[in-house]
Amino acid sequence: GAAPARTEFAMSLDPTQTRDDQALLAEVAETVRRRYALPLERAPRNELYHALAEAVMARLAGPWLNTRERIAASGRRRAYYISLEFLMGRTLGNALLNLDARVEAEQALAALGTKLGELEAEEPDAALGNGGLGRLAACFLDSAATLRLPLDGYGIRYERGLFRQTIEHGDQAEYPESWLAEGNPWEIRRPDRAVRVHFGGRTEFDSEPDGSLRARLVDTEEIVAVPYDTPIPGYRNGHVNTLRLWSAQPLLDFDLKAFNAGKHDKASASRIHAEAISQVLYPDDSHQRGKELRLRQQYFLVSASLQDVLRTWVEQHGAAFDDFAARHCFQLNDTHPVLAIPELMRLLLDEHRLGWDQAWAITEECFAYTNHTLLPEALETWPMEMVDHLLPRLRDIIVEIDRRFGEQIERLFPGEGHRLERLAVIEQNPSPRVRMSHLAMVGSHSVNGVAELHTRLIREHLLKDFYELWPLKFTNKTNGVTQRRWLAHCNPGLSGLITEAIGDRWVTDLAQLEKLVPLADDAGFRERWREVKQVNKQRLAALVAERCDVVFPPEALFDAHVKRIHEYKRQMLNLLHAVHLYQRILDGDTDGMTPRCILIGGKAAAGYHRAKRIIRLAVQIAKRVNGDKRARELLAVAFVPNYNVSAMEVICPGAELSEQISTAGKEASGTGNMKFMMNGALTIGTLDGANIEILDAVGAECFFQFGLTAEEVAKLRENYVPEEIIQRDEHLKRVLDAIQQGSIGGRKSDHYDDLIGSIRSPSDPWCVAADFDGYRRAQQRAAEAYRDSQGWQRMSIINCARSGRFSADRTVDQYASEIWRIGPIEG
Ligand code: 26Q
């Protein structure tokens, strides 16, 4: 006979455990028994992880429901972050931290001889994003919940997130990542909140009794959008927001009709076509490829999300829309969700029968747009033809938006045809296309860049004509990262030391870290700081040993360069420098050389050939250097495969030098730079993105700055002759020649003429040759500085101490007060 699980475990409990631990363990035991028909002692790790996650979800349920009710009852304005990407990473550790239940969970598991860390490792990353833009969305959700702000996220529940990267025969290979295979304990499916999204068809107009015309779409393809909700808990405050992700499904009865008619192929084809929408995240982070499926994803997300919001509004307030704009704000994460602007117009005009002027006033007041890139190849434009075919009613609305905007420009700047062409939402030549950033500008009350330099470049170049038109729409919101995940959770050693020194208020008020500044002069504190870093370096070295089979000696300088692979991020500069150091070693020019471990990681977009070649070169250099006994004590190079959020949680605590070396004017902000800084790494970097603000915060003595400014890059490119620079720089010449002569090794054909040729070319947009000497010298300064351990620890402490302004709490607070106009909901 089976005794109730609770009693069985109550008897085996350790008497030193607190009641909470016992309750948690009993819950886990019961779940293991109920879900898997197993006794606790025989539950495999993955089952234990799922049972623990379920117990955590159960604790979130009450506050979650409560928060939703308090927000609804408050009648206050709410904001929504609409994004094609949310790069959440793992949830368990963060949820335990925010619920203050970590110790309890550790103790509960101790009774089973299981480490919490082992269960955490069972969780796959939710990698529903490519990189910075998607991770920023995740950090913002954490900060908003911590600030008790009513901010929910809307996104797509991709069946497959960003691909898993392996290295095979020196090249990147991509594998699908089935993050949902074992089930996702953090989501709740809400079929009752499903909505229908229509594609294709044509518009018909009915005459209304009042003589007006009403548009109606007919012969459309209908897709069902089913929402899945994930709780977003604030830090120990009882506030829980929602991330709502949409999954695409076929309309069942339609499918069934075909099936019953014996048209099995047709039925399954329609199912596959529908489900394709939420099948996979596009792995491009810097290139617009204009694929129709991508446009379908964008429309699917915004139509489902807006229908959801409007339905909730009508349920609670009836059909009056006078207050709607005062109660809603939608932040558009880059141009990817910008179809929300014409879609809200469509819903207000066609479904809710508002007039154009009222609908437009609401739209403008509700939307705000964030730009994340200046790269021309990343700017989205869609062929009018495709929009017409896929979204005929939206096409009409976009044309009307453009026509009215054109009239306004003609009134303000009569006869300035060129200005009108430059500003138009629909570009005419060579063929009609919708410029998504212009649609965003016209339909939003706010546009922001993500770092001071970036915002200035938007004002002065990218959207100059709009800035002349509406200067007050433009603001800067320098990015930030959440210190809960990026310090408290991922670096318990440093967190403990900081809290011991200055208390724990920094967890929700990062400016508190300033109190560490005086401790930079305390030799005892510096020594403890060094010891913590040393332990984190060992953890990082273990990861490198396991994933790359490379030895990182713990006394060497740990130098980390992790981010998506792109030419503008200049991983090449780092690789050229690695070869230079290797050549010095072969020359015996090693006097005063600092032992260094270079870690490089990042994924290349599947179709970005050059980026994949850069990975290959990195892997070959690593193989050559690590295989040479002469380099053993002085240099190690590793390319770590499958860089992702959970890898960064090990990398940033163990890094000492942070590589932020993009061509000035190209990296909008960067956020990895902030994570490294917060964890006490020093930056070697260009005057680009938020690096400039980091330099301003720490001072030139604590930052290894080099390279051209954005203005100098623009100027130089008018008459750039890299070959002259190369001939005058013996080090650079030697490195380039060696790589081209094939002395790095690999296959016979590995001379890298493509990569090196582009560096030698006058049209190299990234000016690699121009910045090499400055970079090499900055690296030399870093290496020398590292030899003074006391001095280095001092600078490391200063970097952490001055990282307060890079908390996403500060950023979100600025969005809330200056753009969203929302305030905290009382507990
Ligand atoms: C566009 C069209 C079609 C398919 C894909 C895309 C696409 C997807 C993702 C284009 C761009 C992205 C991602 C961009 C991104 O991550 N930008 C980064 O945003 C960070 C947060 O603001 C900044 O810190 C980085 O500087 C910026 O590169």
- Whether the CB-CB separation of 589 and 550 falls below 8 Å is answered with no
List all residues 6 or more positions away from 122 whose beta carbon is below 8 Å from its beta carbon: 45, 46, 48, 49
Nearest 5°: CA angle at 131, between 125 and 132?
A: 125
Q: Which residues of 263-287 are buried (b: 16+ CB within 10 A; e: fewer)?
A: eeeebeebbebbeebbbbbbbbbbe
Residue closest by Cα to atom 15 of ligand 1: 133
Atom of ligand 1 nearest to the CA of 290: 3
DSSP 564-614: ---GGGTHHHHHHHHHHHHHHHHHT--TTPPPEEEEEE-PPPTT-HHHHHH
Please, are residues 55 and 28 in contact by the beta-carbon 8 Å criterion? yes
- 414 SS3 class: coil
**Catalytic residue list contains 569:** yes
pLDDT of 623 reads 97
For 470, what's the count of Cα atoms within 13 Å in the CB-facing half-sphere?
Answer: 18
Residues of the chain with pLDDT under 50: 1-13
Active site residue 266: no
**C-alpha 111: how far from chain center:** 37
Beta pairing partners, 221: 199
Write down the pLDDT at residue 208: 87
**DSSP per position, 759-795:** HHSTT-TT-HHHHHHHHHHHHHHHHHHHHSHHHHHHH
What DSSP letter does each residue of 41-72 carry, written as one string? GG--HHHHHHHHHHHHHHHHHHHHHHHHHHHH
Q: Which of 373, 570, 673 to mutate to test the pocket of ligand 1 (most atoms within 8 A of CB)?
A: 373
Q: How far apart are CA 799 and CA 395, in angstroms?
A: 50
Estimate the crossing angle of helix 609-626 against helix 571-587, to 10 degrees: 20
Residue among 78, 271, 563, 577 flagged as catalytic: 563
d(CA 138, CA 158): 16
- Cβ neighbours of residue 215 under 8 Å, at least 6 residues apart? 203, 204, 205, 349, 350, 393, 396
**pLDDT score at 287:** 84
Cα–ligand 1 centroid distance for 668 (angstroms): 9
Backbone angles phi, psi at 757, to 5 degrees: -55, -40
Q: Where are the beta strands (DSSP E) in 209-289?
A: 213-218, 221-233, 240-250
3-class secondary structure, 416: coil
Catalytic residue among 135, 160, 675, 805: 675
Token readout for 764 is 């190299």
The pLDDT value recorded for residue 649 is: 98
Tokens found for residue 668: 């909008």
DSSP state of 232: E
The pLDDT of residue 266 is 76
């980091």: which residue's tokens?
Answer: 694
CA 479 to ligand 1: nearest atom:
22
3-state helix, strand, coil in the chain (%, to 5): 55, 15, 30
Q: How far apart are alpha carbons 704 and 695 in whole angstroms? A: 9
Catalytically annotated residue among 146, 671, 683, 686: 671
Ligand 1 pocket: which residues have CB below 6 Å?
130-133, 136, 282, 284-286, 288-289, 294, 372-373, 378, 380, 450, 479, 667-671, 689
507-to-93, 96, 116, 527, 649 alpha-carbon distances in Å:
15, 14, 22, 23, 17
From 85, 130, 335, mutation site for ligand 1 pocket: most ligand atoms within 8 A of C-beta: 130
- Point out the catalytic residue in the list 484, 564, 612, 794: 564
| Contact between residue 452 and residue 811 where contact means Cβ atoms under 8 Å apart | no
Residue 797: exposure state from Cβ atoms within 10 A (0-12, 13-18, ≥19) = buried
CA distance 825 to 239: 9
Q: Where are the alpha helices (DSSP H) in 391-435?
A: 392-412, 417-423
The answer to whether residues 106 and 116 touch, using CB atoms and an 8 Å cutoff, is: yes
Residue 271's pLDDT is what? 83
Q: Is 563 a catalytic residue?
A: yes
Quote the pTM value: 0.96
CB atoms within 10 A of CB 564: 23
Helix, strand or coil, per DSSP, at residue 90: coil
Query: Is 675 assigned a catalytic role?
Result: yes
Output the CA 654–ligand 1 centroid distance in Å.
26
